Amino acid sequence: MKHNCPRCGTVLEAGAVYCSNCGGQIAPHPGEERTVTPAQKSNPGQEGYETPDLPLAATLTKATFGVRLLAYIVDVIILTAIQMLFAAISPDVALVTNVIVTAAYFTIMVGRDGQTFGKKFMGIKIITADGNVPSYGKAFIRHIGQIISALILGLGYLLILFDKQSQALHDKIAGTYVVKAPRTF
């Protein structure tokens, strides 16, 4: 059964998790069931045992390391362009603004709609376990986690390759997941 996005009114297919137009999260329609795929099953001792109470984030397709890396590169290009403007004023000003602008960029963009410009361009989104956009507080904690991930020689980022939920260290710290979403650029 089709229904409309509560945010922008776009007609959506049954079972849609995100709006194909605005990227907003769609709550299950009354009477609509979301199925658990075989990849999302748990096995507490018996083959095929399904856990219907999985958090929404566990049922969504996670963004791959490569897609996340490309999104981050887009963000770095944007932030570098901004920093070049400040560097023209003074190297000291650029150093201070780099910290402030970078923290503000990732905190505000992620806390507002779960996507930086790079993530919008690559069609991925940051969500919490229940499928919501992280709060500004969680977004800031995630950014601090990104710094920690980088300080340990990038190993926090490489965790994406080995984690079952494709979470980096900063995702685990903030309780976030990066999932596929409609491209908005």
Domain-located, residue 26: no
What are the phi and psi torsion angles at 177 (to 5°)?
Answer: -135, 150
Is 55 contained in some domain?
Answer: no
* Cα–Cα distance, 50 to 38 (Å, whole number): 8
Count: domains in the chain: 1
**Residue 54 belongs to some domain of the structure:** no
**pLDDT of res. 16:** 74
Q: What is the pLDDT of residue 42?
A: 42
Q: What is the DSSP string of 57-111?
A: HHHSPBPPHHHHHHHHHHHHHHHHHHHHHHHHH-HHHHHHHHHHHHHHHHHHHHH
The tokens of 67 are what?
């897609």
C-alpha span between 132 and 68 (Å, rounded)? 19
Task: Report residue 41's pLDDT band, with 50, 70 and 90 as the boundaries.
Answer: very low
Distances (CA, A) of 52 to 5, 34, 37, 41, 100: 25, 9, 11, 9, 42
How far apart CA 185 and CA 182 sit, in angstroms, is 9
Residue 114 is part of which domain span? Answer: 65-180
Asked if residue 56 is part of any domain, the answer here is no
Q: What average pLDDT does the chain have?
A: 85
Q: How far is CA 146 from CA 19, 38, 60, 139, in A?
A: 28, 32, 23, 10
pLDDT band at 100 (very low <50, low <70, confident <90, very high): very high
| Angle at CA of residue 134, ends 130 and 139, nearest 5° | 145
Whether the full predicted model's pTM is greater than 0.85, yes or no, is no
pLDDT digits (tens, 9 = 90+) for 115-150: 999 999 999 999 999 999 999 999 999 999 999 999
Structural domain includes residue 6 = no
Dihedral of the alpha carbons of 40, 46, 51, 57, in degrees to the nearest 10: -30
Residue 177 has pLDDT above 90, yes or no: yes
Could you tell me if residue 39 is inside a domain?
no
Instruction: Work out the average pLDDT over 101-127.
Output: 98
Residue 118 resides in a domain: yes
Query: Is residue 175 assigned to a domain?
Result: yes
Share in percent of the chain as helix, strand, coil (round to 5): 50, 10, 40
Signed CA dihedral, 84, 89, 93, 95: sign only: positive
DSSP letter, residue 137: H
pLDDT band at 52 (very low <50, low <70, confident <90, very high): low
